[in-house]
């Protein structure tokens, strides 16, 4: 019989497998009739897999795939391939965006630009209207401020030549068809990848507020850009939103049921501090543990971390570590959390796992879970307890999943 940790690995693996983008891209393209020359732009952590599926379905003339380091799966003729920095854009991202603009010049109204976006595209597909070093600084400040993705994108769209519908404007008069693998709460097309080919409903007021909260103002040049409005109507663009965290939750729910847990999806819009989510799940464990019932409580979404320490980690590792004190002493409960893309923050882990032994192990090693959290150093803490979840790049990205397992099922004969 598998251990609870092995159950967590199984749930993670099968949920991610169900969210692979190939089938989703094929289904979306089956509903489209693409004409003329087809030029492809794929950007994001799942860009390579999405592009591979598209090239098997439609006769792509040319295009470019832009993805995170280590996320390419091989050559894809006739496409150009580029890797770039994430979550902070770098010079490689800017060069790839310039190449995408060049590949989509000179098209006619009979031609089609096929845009495939997935999580990470906001950083990976970028051409700034501010100096490159300044954009990196702005992005880092926004990330450290704890701004949610919508607020961050309201700023980034106004500092970009390609975001907020501006790429679709560039492609006109060609038709632009986007397939968007959602990694955002509510599956809003204007938020996925910062909406390069959809109308942008965000306002300059929202952008100015987010910039102010991140300490980026006053700055006259920056403020002038943030006051510019983005396209609110794009007659040459249409889009399909596919996948999303709800699919991840449904797949995990089914796996939990097969493993013998009674599953319940709490939400697919988890949005709060990672520590608070971890503490909530451990509090639920304290109520349900020891009652002889095998339960699985699931929450999909994306938490945030306000970084005050100098450690290493990610929101999913921090969530799991924050659950550890509340799980201490429970023999039949565990919390794990992971990013479906296989990367949690600037680390090599997809997420983290904690159970009733985690806090005691850390204390015996000379430092409490709370002390590790104070330094935002969940990676090093969980590395010592065997609590890091590692998958490598998964080829998809549909947000995060956090799970509380209670009462390991027992085989009966």
Which residue segments constitute the domains of the chain, with CATH numbers given? 4-16+246-406 (3.40.1480.10), 20-243 (3.40.50.10180)
d(CA 143, CA 187): 21
Q: How many CB atoms lie within 10 A of CB 260?
A: 17
Give the pLDDT confidence score for residue 410 in this predicted structure: 65
- Answer whether residue 105 shows pLDDT above 60: yes
Give the model's confidence band at 147: pLDDT under 50 very low, under 70 low, under 90 confident, else very high: confident
- In this predicted model, what pLDDT tens digit does every residue of 353-382 receive, in sequence order? 999 999 999 999 999 999 999 999 999 999
Query: Which H/E stretch holds residue 164?
Result: none
- Answer whether residue 296 shows pLDDT above 50: yes
Helices (H) and strands (E) in the chain, counts: 16, 12
Give the pLDDT confidence score for residue 210 in this predicted structure: 93
Q: In the chain, what percentage of residues exceed pLDDT 70?
A: 99
Q: Where are the alpha helices (DSSP H) in 146-289?
A: 149-158, 166-171, 204-213, 220-226, 245-259, 274-288
Give the pLDDT confidence score for residue 10 in this predicted structure: 98
Contacts 24+ apart (CB under 8 A), 327-330: 327/282, 327/285, 327/354, 327/355, 327/356, 327/358, 327/359, 328/356, 328/358, 328/359, 328/360, 329/356, 330/285, 330/286, 330/289, 330/290, 330/355, 330/356
Give the pLDDT confidence score for residue 411 in this predicted structure: 52
Q: How many CB atoms lie within 10 A of CB 173?
A: 11
Q: In the chain, what percentage of residues exceed pLDDT 90?
A: 87
Give the pLDDT confidence score for residue 117 in this predicted structure: 97
- In this predicted model, what pLDDT tens digit does every residue of 300-348 receive, in sequence order? 999 999 899 999 999 999 999 999 999 999 999 999 999 999 999 999 9
Identify which of 369, 386, 385 has the alpha carbon closest to the alpha carbon of residue 377.
Answer: 369
| Mean pLDDT (whole number) for 43-62 | 97
Cα angle, residue 55 at apex, residues 51 and 58 outer, rounded to 5°: 130
- Answer whether residue 409 shows pLDDT above 90: no
- Answer whether residue 90 shows pLDDT above 60: yes
Round the average pLDDT of the chain to a whole number and report it. 94
| Mean pLDDT (whole number) for 177-186 | 92
98 or 184: which carries more pLDDT confidence?
Answer: 98
Give the pLDDT confidence score for residue 408 in this predicted structure: 81
Give the pLDDT confidence score for residue 413 in this predicted structure: 38
Give the model's confidence band at 1: pLDDT under 50 very low, under 70 low, under 90 confident, else very high: confident
Give the pLDDT confidence score for residue 412 in this predicted structure: 44
Q: Which range (8-12, 43-47, 189-193) has the least confidence?
A: 189-193
Packing angle, helices 4-18 and 245-259, rounded to 10: 140
Virtual CA dihedral for 77, 84, 16, 295, nearest 10 degrees? -170
42 and 54 Cβ atoms separated by less than 8 Å: yes
Please state the pTM of the whole predicted model. Answer: 0.86
Burial of 382 (0-12, 13-18, 19+ CB in 10 A): buried
DSSP state of 348: S
Virtual CA dihedral for 174, 241, 90, 72, nearest 10 degrees? -100
Handedness of CA 72, 140, 95, 228 (dihedral sign): positive
CA atoms within a 13 Å half-sphere pointing along the CA-CB vector of 262: 6
338 and 353 Cβ atoms separated by less than 8 Å: no
Identify which of 152, 60, 78 has the alpha carbon closest to the alpha carbon of residue 114.
Answer: 60
């Amino acid at each position: 019989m598998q251990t609870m940790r092995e159950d967590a690995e199984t749930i993670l693996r099968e949920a991610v497998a169900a969210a692979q983008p190939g089938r989703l891209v094929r289904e979306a393209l089956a509903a489209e009739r693409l004409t003329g020359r087809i030029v492809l732009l794929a950007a994001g952590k799942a860009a390579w897999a999405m592009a591979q599926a598209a090239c098997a379905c439609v006769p792509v003339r040319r295009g470019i795939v832009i993805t995170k380091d280590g996320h390419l799966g091989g050559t894809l003729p006739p496409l150009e391939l580029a890797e770039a920095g994430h979550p902070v854009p770098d010079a490689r991202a800017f060069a790839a965006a310039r190449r995408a603009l060049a590949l989509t010049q000179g098209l006619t109204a009979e031609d089609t630009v096929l845009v495939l976006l997935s999580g990470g595209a906001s950083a990976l597909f970028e051409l700034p209207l501010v100096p490159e070093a300044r954009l990196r600084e702005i992005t880092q400040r926004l990330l450290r401020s704890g701004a949610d993705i919508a607020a961050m994108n309201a700023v980034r769209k106004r500092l970009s030549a390609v975001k907020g519908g501006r790429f679709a404007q560039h492609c006109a008069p060609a038709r632009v068809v986007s397939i968007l693998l959602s990694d955002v709460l509510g599956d809003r097309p204007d938020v996925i990848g910062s909406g390069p080919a959809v109308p942008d409903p965000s306002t300059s007021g929202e952008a100015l507020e987010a910039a102010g909260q991140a300490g980026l103002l006053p700055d006259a040049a920056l403020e002038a850009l943030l006051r510019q409005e983005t396209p609110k109507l794009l007659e040459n663009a249409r889009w399909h939103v596919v996948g999303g965290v709800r699919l991840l939750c449904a797949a995990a729910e089914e796996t939990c049921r097969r493993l013998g847990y009674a599953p319940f999806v709490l939400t697919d819009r988890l949005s709060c501090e990672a520590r608070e989510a971890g503490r909530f799940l451990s509090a639920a464990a304290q109520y349900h543990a020891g009652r002889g019932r095998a339960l699985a409580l699931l929450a999909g979404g994306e938490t945030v971390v306000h970084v005050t320490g100098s450690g290493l980690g990610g929101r999913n590792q921090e969530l799991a570590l924050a659950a550890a004190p509340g799980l201490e002493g429970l023999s039949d409960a565990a919390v794990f959390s992971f990013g479906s893309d296989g990367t949690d923050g600037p680390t090599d882990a997809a997420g983290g796992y904690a159970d009733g032994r985690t806090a005691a192990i850390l204390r015996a090693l000379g430092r409490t879970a709370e002390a590790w959290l104070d330094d935002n150093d969940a990676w090093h803490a969980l590395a010592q307890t065997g609590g890091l979840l590692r998958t490598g790049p998964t080829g998809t990205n549909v947000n995060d999943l956090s799970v509380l397992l209670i009462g390991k099922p027992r085989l009966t004969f």
